Structure 1
Amino acid sequence: MEQQVQVLPDEGGVRVIVCGGEFDQDTLGPLREACAAAADDPGVRRIVLDVAKVTFVDSSMLNQMLLVRRTGRLVLAGPLPHQLDRLLDLTAARDLFATVEGIDAARTL
Structure 2
Amino acid sequence: MEQQVRVLPDEDGVRVIVCAGDFDQDTLAPLDQACTQAADDPGVRRIVLDVTRVAFADSSMLNLMVRMLHTDRLVVAGPVPEQLGRLLDLTQVRGILRITDDGIDAARTL
Class of the TM-score when normalised by the shorter of the 2 chains: over 0.9
5+ residue gaps, structure 1, are none
Name the residue aligned to 1:104: 105
The one-letter amino acid paired with 1:46 is R
User: Sequence identity of aligned pairs in percent?
Assistant: 70
Name the residue aligned to 2:92: 92
Where do 4+ consecutive residues of structure 1 move more than 3 Å?
Answer: none
Report the 3-state secondary structure (helix = DSSP H, G, I; strand = E; otherwise coil) of the residue aligned with 2:92: coil
Name the residue aligned to 1:59: 59
CA distance in 1, matches of 2:92, 2:109: 27
Name the residue aligned to 2:13: 13
Name the residue aligned to 1:83: 83
Cα deviation code 1:17-65 (max 9, x no counterpart): 0000000000000000000000000000000000000000000000000
Report the 3-state secondary structure (helix = DSSP H, G, I; strand = E; otherwise coil) of the residue aligned with 2:95: helix
Alignment length, in residue pairs?
A: 109
Report the 3-state secondary structure (helix = DSSP H, G, I; strand = E; otherwise coil) of the residue aligned with 2:71: coil
Cα deviation code 1:64-94 (max 9, x no counterpart): 0001110000000000001110001111111
CA distance in 2, matches of 1:71, 1:90: 23
Question: What RMSD in Å do the two structures reach over aligned CA positions?
Answer: 0.5
Report the 3-state secondary structure (helix = DSSP H, G, I; strand = E; otherwise coil) of the residue aligned with 2:16: strand
CA distance in 2, matches of 1:76, 1:7: 14
- Structure 1 residue 46 and structure 2 residue 41: aligned? no
5+ residue gaps, structure 2, are none
CA distance in 1, matches of 2:46, 2:73: 5
Give TM-score, length-normalised by structure 2: 0.97
